[in-house]
Structure 1
Amino acid sequence: MRGVTSAPQRALIAAIRQTIAADPWFEGWEERDNRTPVLAILSFDCQPWASLTFAGARHSLALRLHGPMDAVETASDRLEALLVAGDFPLAGHFLADFAIGEKTGEILPDGSMTLSIELEALTIAE
């Protein structure tokens, strides 16, 4: 993963982290146990975007959840509800669009699950 370099990238990742941290369902995720899934950011890309009247950036974020199947599925549903409905405060920018893209899951021999989730966002400079 390339480093997060632009102001909109930093603001977007901070807003996503704050949204997740503020939700009671995710409480205690920092402590690793075998009941809560692990959430990892696999990649985060940002490309300049412009229309006739606006300038901003398109963001692609790939997440991976790994852990017990029921917990991963619940976490995925919860993330989708939080992030798609989110109105993230982004200094100097606003979130014009946010969508959940492709989800790819794999059930492992030990009964755990790995789920990759693509997130897409469009930020516009104010």
Structure 2
Amino acid sequence: MPVEQARPKARPRSPGSLIASQIEALAGNRVTVAMKHERPWASITFAGTRHSFAVDWQGTAEPDGIDNLAKALPDHAFAIPGYFVADILVTEQSDLRLLVEALSITDPVEKPRNF
């Protein structure tokens, strides 16, 4: 009788991983996004996480590619059920790399859910 192997449980995707994948999609998948670190964040009224990313352009530099991405990030509407991105900032920029800080906040109205 064959032994049934346990299937790994799907891991919930964190807000940080969803932000990273949406940055990649915004750039037309011409970048790779690596999480540098995450830190809990809180104020009197809100709780969330501060995320730090390195965004690396793949291949040769396109004249305006990384610059266009840097300009698009602050106005991008990230879709993260149960959270919202309250702040996103490019802290460093070169021809092939961005360093990005983002703040995701737990939405007080929509409860976070497993992805």
TM-score scaled to structure 1, two decimals?
0.64
1:120 maps to which residue? Answer: 101
1:75 maps to which residue? Answer: 65
Whole-Å Cα distance in 2 between the matches of residues 90 and 42 of structure 1? 18
Q: Is residue 112 of structure 2 the alignment partner of residue 92 of structure 1?
A: no
- Cα gap change, 1:45 to 1:94, in 2 (>3 Å): same
Instruction: Determine if contact 2:35/2:51 at 8 Å carries over to the other structure.
Output: no
- Cα gap change, 1:79 to 1:47, in 2 (>3 Å): same
Q: 1:40 aligns with which of 32, 48, 58?
A: 32
Q: Going by fraction, where is helix more abundant, 1 or 2?
A: 1
2:41 maps to which residue? Answer: 49
- Cα gap change, 1:12 to 1:116, in 2 (>3 Å): same
Matches within 5 A, 1:19-34: 19-20=26-27, 26=28
Q: 1:13 aligns with which of 11, 20, 29?
A: 20
> In structure 2, the residue corresponding to 1:17 is in which secondary structure?
helix
Whole-Å Cα distance in 1 between the matches of residues 14 and 43 of structure 2? 20
When Rg is computed on C-alpha atoms for both structures, the one with the higher figure is: 2
Residue correspondences, number: 97
Q: Going by fraction, where is strand more abundant, 1 or 2?
A: 1
CA displacement at 1:18 relative to structure 2: 3.1
CA RMSD of aligned residues (A): 2.4
Identity of aligned residues (%): 30
Structure 1, unpaired ranges of 5+: 21-25, 30-37, 106-114
Structure 2, unpaired ranges of 5+: 1-11, 108-115
